[in-house]
Structure 1
């Protein structure tokens, strides 16, 4: 692809990158760009980063800007809405299954004021976002740590770390979970197995090939494609039925990542 400039490029299968998107390094070619299978990068997206990686089935919508000197890593099944800014000047890591709503801004640095004149605000620090984190939209996020399953409601200004599974709102954002609950509730393995069995039927995939099991311990070396609901993993083969089922599940029914 002529809109990617990189010394080392790993490009997955079935990737769509719109012609107006640009991926390069800070001063010319990126050192490394890795994009997983079945990803989409939309119109006028700019990724200006020397070390950038994007997991399988991730989508970056139009006019998003990703930039920074330090590595930016985004996991599997990401959904990044249009006109989002992701800054990696201080280094940014975003886990699997994360949603970043349209017009959000994620920052890993604070710079501009004249330090000779005594400005106190100058710094770079990592932005670390765990798995299943959701910034609903129009969120502004400082270089914080967002623990797994945490969530910030629309318009939140996040200046402090977000705790596991708690929901935040406001400016500055504060936890509302004591009043409104949590992003995720407990679901039993048995309930997950029943839902996934129904999804296999609804998706119209080969039920002999696609196997739903409780845990990775139940996976057999028989050439079938296994989905383990406890670990939320699957045996990646790139088979068309696997891709069809994954696309049916995403983004809101279920999210799975490859078995390591």
Structure 2
């Protein structure tokens, strides 16, 4: 155990709860929060930058209802292959991010992201596309 974080095979300075399925070659940066309590798949070759939060649960309805809504809601998150998630982005429960997409730093992703799409902002919106027509020379358009 390092810095009070539970041991995990990805980064000694990341907090990971549950059992995420993480593809080979994926890198997870320091100071990330990875919540797999509702189910989480992260594809191969992804970069999850420092400070990213991925949530598969929400207690908002339980809280504001004074616990009349007794459940903590949980929905899985699926992140495709070769996805880049910028520093301090937040991925909310129930979201699917398609292969070869880019999530900009600080974005809050509340809806699905199509493959090869660039999103940014709060809430995250499409701001571009990933063009892989030239092998080895990806472009952001």
Q: Which of these two proteins has the greater Rg computed from alpha carbons?
A: 1
**How do 1:131-146 residues align onto structure 2 when only pairs under 5 Å count?**
131-143=81-93, 144-146=95-97
Give the Å deviation of 1:122. Answer: 4.0
Q: Tell me which protein shows more helix as a share of its residues.
A: 1
Partner of 2:119: 168
Partner of 1:98: 46
Give the Å deviation of 1:79. Answer: 1.1
Q: Which structure 1 segments of 5+ residues have no match?
A: 1-19, 22-42, 49-53, 55-59, 193-260
The counterpart of 1:186, out of the listed 126, 133, 137, is 133
Q: CA distance change for structure 1 residues 167 and 121 in 2, over 3 Å: closer, same or farther?
A: farther
Partner of 2:6: 46
Query: Is 1:108 aligned with 2:56?
Result: yes
Q: Which runs of 4+ in 1 moved over 3 A?
A: 114-122
TM (norm. structure 1) is 0.46
Q: CA distance change for structure 1 residues 107 and 117 in 2, over 3 Å: closer, same or farther?
A: closer
Distance 1:121 1:175 in 2: 32
Give the Å deviation of 1:67. Answer: 0.2
Q: Which structure 2 segments of 5+ residues have no match?
A: 137-141
Give the Å deviation of 1:147. Answer: 0.7
What RMSD in Å do the two structures reach over aligned CA positions? 2.6
Give the number of aligned pairs: 134
TM (norm. structure 2) is 0.82
Give the Å deviation of 1:186. Answer: 1.5
Higher RCO by CA contacts (8 Å cutoff, separation 6 or greater)? 2
Deviations for 1:118-157, whole angstroms, at most 9, x for unmatched residues? Answer: 4598411111111011111100111200010111100001
Q: CA distance change for structure 1 residues 186 and 155 in 2, over 3 Å: closer, same or farther?
A: same
8 Å contact 1:129–1:145 — kept in the other structure? yes
Give the Å deviation of 1:185. Answer: 2.0
The counterpart of 2:107, out of the listed 156, 160, 167, is 156
